[in-house]
Amino acid sequence: MEQRSAATDCRIPAIARLRDRLAGPANSSASAWYQNPGDAVSFDRVREILDQSQDFDAIVIDTNNPDQAVEWLRELRAHSQFGHRLLFLTQDLGTEVAALADGVAPPPTRMRTDVEVWRSRCASLMHDGYLDEEERLLAFLYLRPDFQVHPVVDTRDQGYYRYPLLDAFSPSGHDGLAWSDGLRRARLLEPVKLVDRLRQCSSCTSSHLNYVDICTECKSIDIGENIFLHCYTCGNVAPQEQFVGRAGLCCARCDAKLKHIGVDYDRALESFSCNECSARFIEPTVEAHCLHCRASSPTTELPERRVHAFRLTDEGRLAARSGSRRQSPATHDTQLNLNSAYFEQTLTWLLQLRQRHNEVQFGVLAVRVTNAAALIKSLSHVRAQQLIDSFGRRLHEVIRATDLVMRATEGEWFILSPQTDRDGLTALRRLLESLTVATEQADGQRLEIGCADVAAEELKDLAIGARVLLAELQGRTV
Ligand SMILES: [Zn+2]
Ligand SMILES: [Zn+2]
Ligand SMILES: [Zn+2]
């Protein structure tokens, strides 16, 4: 990994353009803008860009061929230096391409602002290059705050839906879906929208299923629908054609003339028959036949797969910034904040203890930066981030050594303080508020916080559970 240098931020944007000599450039204004050597340096291959000593802020992919665009985008997204960067197109090339790119290139003047905003977010990351795929994906998502990872329909794919972006970032380059499961378990990604629900083959998990009606007796697919008549005289049930004679309806078995429906005959309940075993039935059985492995399963036994769009979690955002998930997966981050699972476990334990022993004392306090958006607006993203980070560091200096801290989001912390009562919590609150004084800027702006707390003796329901208690406090800091 490469440490970022502070000097990179005052350059004018450096744009590279990948031109497609075979298929030709796109016929669009975006293509025309960046053919101008003053606005971008042109290359024929990704390798040529990588070999340059120059550090490009953005790459414009100028082709009208979706396959070429996908090939270039995948190569760049898998690269340690370029994976997280701005990669633009010069025309819309379909959903697969769109999933890997940052949209169609804006005009050069707006590109300048886009790159500035981009650099300002980059400055709050520790690194500028990511050999590790997971860190690269987290950085990519962190740098695009509102980004959602969307699945695209791919009828050639066994699972029917794919995540082209996760595929491109994943270590293997193709199993983004399996990879996303791990990222979800690690609480780095979370579902944001349910896109579809699919049934899967129970033996190979393919979603390419054919639902077919079969014979209830011998399971043959060779069945047909027919009208069956029922002769009252002899009880014969047979397809209607067998009753139609030259002189009206007549039973083929007993020769009775069928003159009046309801008197001589009626329609049988069964309307399906099997051409293999001649069985008759009212409703055929429905089975799912897998078009991949040919396995057949009852429709009630097909596992369901939920297809979601994902986004980065608050924990994912923190991990992207500290880059510390790999080194300390256990209990702490680099600022000595506990991970949420460990924090919740400890709180659960104290709540249970208090149920048995009334003398067990503790307090929980939530603290949140309430003016982060305003600070980012007036100071820049990086400066605001630095203020919030330094508050987070100072917070550890004012608490007691036995207090536990969990950073829930970038501007939100929980403190669990054993042997602390109402008075102790109020004192802690005052200390935290005093910390914001030191963050005052030249223009009088400073960090503002909101606190919410509860002491064990104030808890009405000790069985409430740690998760709910924390969420309730969190809601009161707004
Ligand atoms: Zn199958
Ligand atoms: Zn049959
Ligand atoms: Zn008959």
Task: Identify whether residues 231 and 335 lie together within a single domain.
Answer: no
Could you give the number of structural domains in the chain?
A: 3
Supply the mean pLDDT for the chain.
88
Residue 63 lies in a domain: yes
pLDDT beyond 90 at 334:
no
pLDDT digits (tens, 9 = 90+) for 114-161: 999 999 889 888 777 888 888 999 999 999 999 999 999 999 888 899
Which ligand sits closest to the CA of 200?
1
Distance between CA atoms of residues 439 and 445, nearest Å: 8
The contacts of residue 444 (CB under 8 Å, 6+ apart) are none
* 5 alpha carbon, distance to own chain's centre: 32
Alpha helices in 252-408 (DSSP H): 314-322, 340-356, 372-379, 381-398
- Given 300, 317, 347, which residue is the final one in a domain? 300
Residues 349 and 287 both lie in one domain: no
| Structure-block tokens of residue 267 | 């329609």
Q: Are the CB atoms for 86 and 145 separated by under 8 Å?
A: no
Query: Are 271 and 152 found together in one domain?
Result: no
Cα–Cα distance, 162 to 207 (Å, whole number) = 12
Ligand lying closest to the C-alpha of residue 207: 1
How many angstroms separate the CA atoms of 23 and 72, rounded? Answer: 14
Q: Are residues 178 and 247 in the same domain?
A: no
- Statement to judge: residues 143 and 26 lie in one domain: yes
Residue 112 placed within a domain: yes
Query: Which whole number is the average pLDDT over 5-24?
Result: 74
Q: Are 308 and 192 in contact (CB under 8 A)?
A: yes
User: Last residue of some domain: 153, 170, 194?
Assistant: 194
Sign (positive or negative) of CA dihedral 157, 161, 164, 170: negative
Cα of 250 vs centre of ligand 3, distance in Å, is 8
Taking 80 as the threshold, does the pLDDT of residue 335 lie above it? no
**315 within some domain:** no
Alpha-carbon span 476 to 370, nearest angstrom? 12
Which ligand sits nearest to residue 290's alpha carbon? 1
Residue 252 in any domain: the answer is yes
CATH assignment at residue 372: 3.30.70.270
Please state, in angstroms and rounded to a whole number, the distance separating the CA atoms of residues 332 and 339. Answer: 6
Does 234 fall in a domain? yes
Same domain, 345 and 454: yes
Q: Is residue 417 very low, low, confident or very high in pLDDT (cuts 50, 70, 90)?
A: very high
CB under 8 Å to 165, separation ≥6 — which residues? 77, 99, 100, 149, 176
pLDDT for the residue numbered 124:
83
Q: Greater confidence, 475 or 325?
A: 475
Q: In what order do the strands lie in the sheet with 58-62?
A: 41-43, 15-19, 58-62, 86-89
Ligand 1 center–CA 219 separation, angstroms: 18
Determine the structural domain holding residue 276 and report its residue range.
209-300
The pLDDT value given to residue 101: 97
Residues 116 and 178 reside in one and the same domain: yes
Q: How many CA atoms lie within 13 A of 98 on its CB side?
A: 12
Q: Is residue 87 part of a domain?
A: yes
Mind giving me the DSSP string for 412-444?
EEEEEEET--HHHHHHHHHHHHHHHHTT--TTS
For residue 257, how far is its CA from the centre of ligand 3 (angstroms)? 8
Q: Taking the mean position of all CA atoms in its chain, how far away is CA 233?
A: 68
Determine the length of the chain. Answer: 478
Verify that 352 and 273 share a domain, yes or no: no
Residues 263 and 366 reside in one and the same domain:
no
Q: Which ligand approaches the C-alpha of residue 281 most closely? A: 2
Separation of alpha carbons 69 and 91, rounded Å: 10
Joined tokens for residue 280: 């008759």
Q: What is the rounded CA–CA span in Å between residue 375 and residue 368?
A: 14
Task: Say yes or no to pLDDT of 328 above 50.
Answer: no
Q: From start to end of 78-163, where are the E strands? A: 86-89, 152-153, 161-162
**What per-residue confidence (pLDDT) applies to 398?**
84
Question: Which one of 300, 319, 347 terminates a domain?
Answer: 300
What is the DSSP annotation of 319-331?
HHHH--TTT--SS
138 and 245 inside one domain: no
Q: So what's the pLDDT on residue 331?
A: 58
Q: What percent of the chain has pLDDT over 90?
A: 56
Phi, psi at residue 453, to the nearest 5°?
Answer: -145, 165
Q: How far is ligand 1, taken at its centre, from the CA of residue 207, in Å?
A: 8
Task: Determine the distance separating the centroid of ligand 3 and the alpha carbon of 237, expressed in angstroms.
Answer: 8
Residue 306 lies in a domain: no
Question: What is the Å distance from ligand 1's center to 157 Cα?
Answer: 13
**Residue 307 within a domain:** no
What's the confidence (pLDDT) of residue 158? 86
In this prediction, residue 247 has a pLDDT band, given cuts at 50, 70 and 90, of confident
pLDDT tens for 27-83 read: 899 999 999 888 899 999 999 998 887 889 999 999 999 999 999 999 999 998 899
Closest ligand by atom to 219 CA: 2
Q: What is the CA radius of gyration of the chain?
A: 33
Residues 171 and 59 reside in one and the same domain: yes
Residue 283 exposed, middle or buried by CB count within 10 Å (0-12, 13-18, 19+): exposed
Distance, CA 211 to ligand 2 centroid (Å)? 18
* 288 alpha carbon, closest ligand: 1
- Strands 244-245 and 209-214, how do they pair? unpaired
Asked if 262 and 344 sit in the same domain, the reply is no
> Of the ligands numbered here, which is closest to the C-alpha atom of 217?
2
Please list the alpha-helical segments (H only) found in 334-380. 340-356, 372-379
